[in-house]
Structure 1
Amino acid sequence: MSLALGFLFTYPLLTALWVPSGFSVDWDQHLAFSWVQYDTIWRFHQIPLWNPYKCGGIPGLGNPQDRILTPFTLLHLLAGPIAGLYLEVPLHFAVAWSGGYLLARVLGVSRLAAIGAATVFPASSWYALHATAGHADLLAFTLLPWVLVPALLAAECRRLSYTALSGAALALTFLDGNPYPTIYASLLMAAVLAAWALYRRSAWPLLVFGLALVFGVGFMAPKLLPAIDFMRAHPRPILHPEVNDYRVLGQLLWSRNQDFWLWPEVKWKWGFWESGAYAGLFIVPAIIGALVGGAAVLVWLFAGACMLLIWMGSHGPFSPWEILHHLPVFSIMRVPSRAIIPFTLTLAVMTGFGLDWIIKRTRRFGPAIALILIAVATVDCLLVVTPNYWYVVSKPESDVQPLPSDGFHQLSSAVPHHELNYARHNAGVKDCYEFTKKFPTAIKGYDQIYYQGEQYIIGPGTARLEQWTPNALEYDVDAASPSDLVIVNQNYDQSWRLARGTGQVFDFGVLPPGKIPGLPGFPGLLAVQVPAGHQRMELRYRPASVIAGTAIAVITLLVSLALWFVERRRAIGTLTPGR
């Protein structure tokens, strides 16, 4: 059912699976990410650790918005980078629906009511609007129910191995997306488990929350550690304080006009694609559930209220949005409107409670009433949100001007927002779209007057390219003096190392002291000082943080398996006769 609804709600994307969308800059950005990963793996047989096509060369795995470690990468490798990204949209819908169904069942909701609760979260317009905008890194919000289900089971059953499952799901929100789904998943879990601790009068939910965070950090370490290095080197600019007006909530949740280009009456920095969360007729059972759901529903009312307070943004120094910005990681957050996404999940849970009450209170006609309400509300959401996907396929990305065919080249005067097409033509772009305003780079495009090639030597020697791959560069170098420098026309990163040959890798803007007096440097340019003589030199991109993160993830997995084994043995022991 989850797959059927996923493809039904997103069917316009299926009409152009292999046609790259030029509808938005975010579609171009994530299609380019997908193509670079696909090409690096299939053509060069390398892990996409470095992306030479973007901004003069930046980390691939370390980029918080790059999604190489998502399980859906396998889909991209099999179906191709364009079709793979399109197919992710219905499949993430299915992930959200199935997770919502399990969450409702864990909370004791009947099967029919759980179907209604499961539909609310992905059928809401937030999902279609963000997908239409090309926010592939925000599709990971669909994993929110999967973070909560094992956490609640761990709190109820007191099974520590379930906290590892919750941590794994939390890690997936980062591996499959960017920090936004992870941070909001953590905040939602904190609100739910804190309220659950009061509801059950037990400290176990708080212990579960802490352990889930520890396991989550451990599992996401292969991407988290290089991402931290990347963010330190390129801090994210934060906009002025952002404010949302609670008076527009009615329009966001109930108005049937959920068009991508709609601007609410109260305008703010971001468009409607960051705000809409249509729930339609599902609001009716949600209100019923909030009124008659009993003590358990208070947990979700509290969590929903917390998300709405965050959604309101900067309403004074004591508003949750401002207070949270004093904390690490959250300090780089913007767009408080995205808090409406986890709020929609709390609304879905209350919908489940309301439908369950209708089914049980009116035993003769209750199931029929609930079924009709679910069907009508689902069709209503389908009619309201699905037309947005036609925007994606209505504007194919146009090709770029002819480029040199004699190998990789950096380009300066690139047409904005055509990163996919330039990468497909084996060209990197100097000025690109990323989370920072501009990368400080001294690279030169082949179309610039002072361009000297993708590699050159400062001095009387020569440097000739022997082999080019994204993660490894091999040169034949003939240096005439010990002061000769080999310059690579890509951005410097501390993880570039000499795998073969003799020399010192450094940032050309920070010259080795006393080595080359009087020579002006160019900040951010990759350079190697080589000794006099002839050598075969190979540069490789080897981030130590990826190795350390992988080791941490392996240890976390071993601890999780040990917990599962111990608790399983203990459970079997309690069932053994005579014990």
Structure 2
Amino acid sequence: MTRERVVRGLGVLVVALIAMGALWSPAFLTGASGWGDWQWFHHMWEAGRVAYVRWGELPLWNPHHCGGVPLWGNPQAQVYSPTYLIFALPFGTNLGHKLFVLFHAVVGFASMYTFARREVSLTRIASLLAAIAWCASGFFAWHGAGGHATFLAFYYAPALLLAWRAAERDLRWCGVVAAWMVLIVLEGGHYPFPYFVLLLAFDALVRAFALPRLVPRLAAVAALSGALTGLLGAARFLPILFALRANPHPVPDPDWLSPSEILEMLTARTHDYRFAGHGWVWPEYGAYVGWAIVVLSALGLAAAFASITASRTSARSRATMLWLVLGLVLFFLFTQGSATPHHPWPLLQELPFYRSIHVPSRFRVLLIFFMALLAGVALDRIAQAIASLPVRADVRALSWAIPWTLVLAITIDLYVINVGIIDRWNEEPVGVRAPVDHHLVRGRSYLDEYANYPSENVGTIECYDPVPWPRSTRLWLGEGPQARIVPEEAGRVIAWGRTSLTVWADIELDEPALVVFNQNHADDWTSAQGQVISDDVRLAVDVQQPRGRMRVEARYFPRDLPYTVGLSLTGAIACVVLALAPWRRRRARQAGAPTV
């Protein structure tokens, strides 16, 4: 890599940091925590911090929610991700989550700009427009403001596509593709991951159709990237699969949108919180990019059609324009949802994994992705048309003045609307309450306080978890012993306590009895003092030692952890071996393709 490219890359990162820092600045102007679902993700981050920092344990179990449920198999858990470890542990949940948001936005902006330059051959100003239109759109504003932390991984789309395209030229990049896909799963990307599987499949099919010579290479990239992703991500894929198979949660969603409603989503500057005729609230539909981007993307669509049919268009350019056109059409149809039985969405929900995802309007993130790139195509065509006019040189200067003016106006418009949406960081700071003896609380406002339960060392029987874990209806609330002897006359509890992964009680028994702990039972709890059983879904240890004082302890350790982690380590070694492979690098024939 030349020094010039390094400098350009750093310049792009600086611009991305400034642009996205300005967009997400409301989060940093206050010490408050986030609104809406942020409290749920704050809660899980705090549960992880407590496990790591207070107890020195892996966050495999969450004793602070639903009466105690697994974290290991939770598809939304982010506590095993390297980005969590980087931002949560040193900075705390409050600031760490804000830095987590900014990191994703910067990666999204920089990689979108780079993708537009390298893969779509846009000019710098058009690439800048594409990056701003996508990263500052209403999709990210609404979902980022509302706390859909796992949706932040959608910002990785252009970076993933860059790695995927690079793998066509050099198979070593398949390891990078796998790393991106596994990072998405580690960040709880239960929506981004299946969406990106569709995006990569679409990319491969269109490029195979437009450039038949790439078919063998694309097949190799898909096979190798898929195998490495499955192996590297085994420590998340398999526990999640086991959890969802044991606790299925299919969510059929017949929602559908008309073209006029999608246009409303893209252009409405304000809207009621409800969306008439639909079961979800407006944040699930809001996608403001403004009329200027809508018009430019339509012009870009026309320009792309013209390029596809032009006889002098190169095969690579024709493939790129075809990709843009079909991408816009496909993800528009996905965003429409169940408009007809033959739309992509109802067909997709026939597939096993995709039955667990819902709200088809979330596909608007990829619709806006293609709209932003097509808007960049239109901007370049406008500049070229002005430059080709037979006018004086000073008038021809409009070929750069008009595009820059348009980009500035669009940026101001996007920021005026979407920064106002983002400005919702107004809840109590998390992670600052002093810990007390663990118990299940009563008489509190659940949604206002549960983000602080892990740091306070308390729990709740209430649930906000998307997985329908088995839960006991016989747990007891309030302070006091968190273990009981059944039958009561068989002995007494002297002391008790817990960490994130263990529960214990010092007891004195006169006869065999059950020691019942005040939390839910799960299969992977074990005890050296007796058999662990379910007492009406409560965790219980069947102690057969007839008399005397003893400590009964139970510990949670997923039985799949050793081999799933072993498979992931094997995948990591395979990626390293692939990266160090000595075979000759295959370079793409990209004559005239711009750099960053």
TM range (shorter): 0.7 to 0.9
| Aligned-residue offset at 1:72 | 2.8
Question: Which gives a bigger RCO, structure 1 or 2 (Cα 8 Å, sep 6+)?
Answer: 2
Sequence identity, in percent? Answer: 25
In the other structure, the counterpart of 2:519 is 490
Kept after mapping to 2: 8 A contact 1:95/1:143: yes
In the other structure, the counterpart of 2:56 is 45
Give the Cα–Cα distance (whole angstroms) in 2 for the partners of residues 31 and 406 of structure 1.
19
| Aligned-residue offset at 1:399 | 12
In the other structure, the counterpart of 2:463 is 432
Kept after mapping to 2: 8 A contact 1:194/1:206: no
Segment drifting more, 57-66 vs 436-445: 436-445
Give the Cα–Cα distance (whole angstroms) in 2 for the partners of residues 391 and 424 of structure 1.
23
Q: 1:367 to 1:469 in 2, by over 3 A?
A: same
In the other structure, the counterpart of 1:419 is 450
Match of 2:481 among 439, 448, 453: 453
Amino acid at match of 2:483: Q
Amino acid at match of 2:179: A
Residues 495-574 of structure 1: matches in 2 within 5 Å? 495-498=524-527, 501-508=528-535, 522=536, 524-532=537-545, 533=547, 534-566=549-581, 568-571=582-585
Amino acid at match of 1:306: L
Amino acid at match of 1:332: S
1:16 is paired with a residue whose SS is coil
The runs of at least 4 aligned residues of structure 1 exceeding 6 Å deviation read 397-400
In the other structure, the counterpart of 1:516 is none
- Mapped pair 1:99 → 2:132: no
Q: 1:171 to 1:352 in 2, by over 3 A?
A: farther
2:515 is paired with a residue whose SS is strand
Kept after mapping to 2: 8 A contact 1:252/1:275: yes
Residues 378-393 of structure 1: matches in 2 within 5 Å? 378-393=411-426
Amino acid at match of 1:79: F
Give the Cα–Cα distance (whole angstroms) in 1 for the partners of residues 66 and 207 of structure 2.
46
2:29 is paired with a residue whose SS is helix
- Mapped pair 1:270 → 2:283: no
Match of 2:129 among 113, 116, 123: 116
| Aligned-residue offset at 1:248 | 0.7
Amino acid at match of 2:300: G
Kept after mapping to 2: 8 A contact 1:48/1:61: yes
| Aligned-residue offset at 1:129 | 0.7
Q: 1:122 to 1:406 in 2, by over 3 A?
A: closer
1:457 is paired with a residue whose SS is strand
Amino acid at match of 1:152: R
Give the Cα–Cα distance (whole angstroms) in 2 for the partners of residues 399 and 178 of structure 1.
24
Kept after mapping to 1: 8 A contact 2:252/2:349: no
- Mapped pair 1:62 → 2:69: no
Gaps of 5+ in 2: 1-14, 308-317, 388-395, 587-596
In the other structure, the counterpart of 1:330 is 354
Give the Cα–Cα distance (whole angstroms) in 2 for the partners of residues 167 and 217 of structure 1.
8
Give the Cα–Cα distance (whole angstroms) in 2 for the partners of residues 339 and 571 of structure 1.
36
Match of 1:256 among 269, 272, 275: 269
Give the Cα–Cα distance (whole angstroms) in 1 for the partners of residues 403 and 231 of structure 2.
43
Give the Cα–Cα distance (whole angstroms) in 2 for the partners of residues 374 and 178 of structure 1.
31
Give the Cα–Cα distance (whole angstroms) in 1 for the partners of residues 585 and 429 of structure 2.
57
| Aligned-residue offset at 1:214 | 2.9
In the other structure, the counterpart of 1:244 is 257
Amino acid at match of 1:407: D
Kept after mapping to 1: 8 A contact 2:228/2:574: no
Give the Cα–Cα distance (whole angstroms) in 2 for the partners of residues 313 and 103 of structure 1.
28
Q: 1:300 to 1:213 in 2, by over 3 A?
A: farther
Kept after mapping to 1: 8 A contact 2:496/2:506: yes
Q: Deviations over 1:229-271 (max 9, x none)?
A: 22233322525522222221111112333x5x5444x430111
Gaps of 5+ in 1: 509-521, 573-579
Kept after mapping to 2: 8 A contact 1:412/1:444: no
Segment drifting more, 281-290 vs 94-103: 281-290
Match of 2:401 among 368, 377, 396: 368
TM-score, length-normalised on structure 1? 0.87
Q: 1:315 to 1:284 in 2, by over 3 A?
A: closer
Give the Cα–Cα distance (whole angstroms) in 2 for the partners of residues 361 and 558 of structure 1.
52
Residues 281-360 of structure 1: matches in 2 within 5 Å? 281-293=292-304, 294=307, 295=318, 296-360=320-384
| Aligned-residue offset at 1:319 | 2.6
Kept after mapping to 1: 8 A contact 2:431/2:455: no
Give the Cα–Cα distance (whole angstroms) in 1 for the partners of residues 64 and 497 of structure 2.
17
Q: 1:350 to 1:413 in 2, by over 3 A?
A: same
1:411 is paired with a residue whose SS is coil
Give the Cα–Cα distance (whole angstroms) in 2 for the partners of residues 87 and 399 of structure 1.
16
Give the Cα–Cα distance (whole angstroms) in 2 for the partners of residues 477 and 406 of structure 1.
22
